[in-house]
Amino acid sequence: MTAQSESRGEVFHSDLLDHGSQDPPPSTPALPAQMADLARRLRSESRDTETILRAICAAAVESIPSAEYASITLVENRSTITSPVLIGNLAADSDRLQAELHEGPCVTSALQSDTVVIDDMRSDDRWPRFSAAAADLGIRSMLCFCLYVEGDSFGALNLHSTRVNAFDDESRSIGSLFAAHAAIAFSSVREKEQIRSALTNRDVIGQAKGMLMERYSLSADDAFQLLARLSQDSNTKLADVALQVVEAGPGQ
């Protein structure tokens, strides 16, 4: 593992820092307030998971010092790797490599719920195949934060830079706080989607029960048991069986 950068004099391209003067960075109380405001904005503006993921990535590039590109890596069932949102071609190429090789800092960060830092891709030996290919692409530094953990699904927010030692303690501190607030907003949207899906399934099952009750003169309990038996015998989700009944119509 490479040594961490001790540099404190670099100029960071971030709206959070005043890189046009010698003034110190924002005071500690101001940053949490800014992150909290961002989290509220993400919750209020986002309508679905894809929208909030895109907002998270865009805000990360804008807010975290030295970040040039960003992506979010999702690992489902510890095997399926996807990248629903990408900011920049370099981020897309990096995530593509990790999906092909099934190794890399983004996957490790997601699965191990840890923050991963790469100071110089050319000398990092933790993921040899990925590091060599990523260095050829021009990636020099990476910073990955675990974004959320839910059942067998894991996620990571990934930042990329074409500079060596791009992410110092300031970048990591701001990035960690940002990722924590972003994860809350992301989880909130996912919860709303799950509730919406559950309510939709309930309505479809209710419609199917009503149709079966009328068609076969069944009680509500018997109609539900019929749906459950069809679901078990066909190895199909109950909601999908109910949807088939509804789509078949009353004459079937």
Name the pLDDT band for 4 (thresholds 50, 70, 90): very low
Of 176, 193, 210, the residue that ends a domain is 193
Q: Is the domain of 199 the same as that of 217?
A: yes
> pLDDT digit string (tens) for 144-170?
999 876 777 788 999 999 999 999 998
Whether 141 contacts 135, CB under 8 Å = no
**Does residue 140 lie in a domain region?**
yes
- State how far the Cα of 146 lies from the Cα of 229, in Å rounded to an integer: 41
pLDDT band at 117 (very low <50, low <70, confident <90, very high): very high
Give the model's pLDDT for residue 21: 39
- 204 with 101, same domain? no
Q: Alpha-carbon torsion 213, 215, 216, 217, what sign?
A: positive
pLDDT band at 24 (very low <50, low <70, confident <90, very high): very low
pLDDT score, position 14: 34
In CATH, what number is assigned to the domain containing residue 224?
Answer: 1.10.10.10
Let me know whether 212 and 160 are in one domain. no
Residues in the chain, overall count: 252
| 12, part of any domain | no
| 92 and 165 belong to one structural domain | yes
Same domain, 34 and 89: yes
Task: Indicate if 187 and 223 belong to the same structural domain.
Answer: no
pLDDT at 81 over 60: yes
Query: Which range of residues forms the domain containing residue 148?
Result: 30-193
Any domain includes 8: no
pLDDT average, residue stretch 116-133: 97
Domain contains 55: yes
> Average of pLDDT values for 46-58?
73
Alpha-carbon dihedral sign for residues 154, 157, 161, 166: negative
The CATH number assigned to the domain holding 110 equals 3.30.450.40
The number of C-alpha atoms within 13 Å of 195 and in the hemisphere containing its C-beta is 7
How does pLDDT run across 97-110, given as a tens digit for each residue?
A: 999 999 999 999 98
Q: Check residue 43 and give its pLDDT.
A: 58
Looking at every residue in the chain, the average pLDDT score rounds to 79
Span of 30-34, 115-119, 211-215, 238-242 with lowest mean pLDDT: 30-34
In a domain, 209, yes or no: yes
Regarding whether 200 and 186 lie in a shared domain, the answer is no
129 & 207 share domain: no
SS3 at position 166: coil
Asked whether the beta carbons of 140 and 162 are under 8 A apart, the reply is yes
Per-residue pLDDT tens digits for 128-144: 999 999 999 999 999 99
Residue 13 within any structural domain of the chain: no
223's CB contacts (< 8 A; 6+ apart) are: 208, 209, 210, 212, 213, 216
Q: In the predicted model, is pLDDT for residue 71 greater than 90?
A: yes
Tell whether 65 and 166 lie within a shared domain.
yes
Residues 151 and 216 in one domain: no
Q: How many domains does the chain have?
A: 2
Examine the pLDDT at 230 and tell me if it is beyond 90. Answer: no
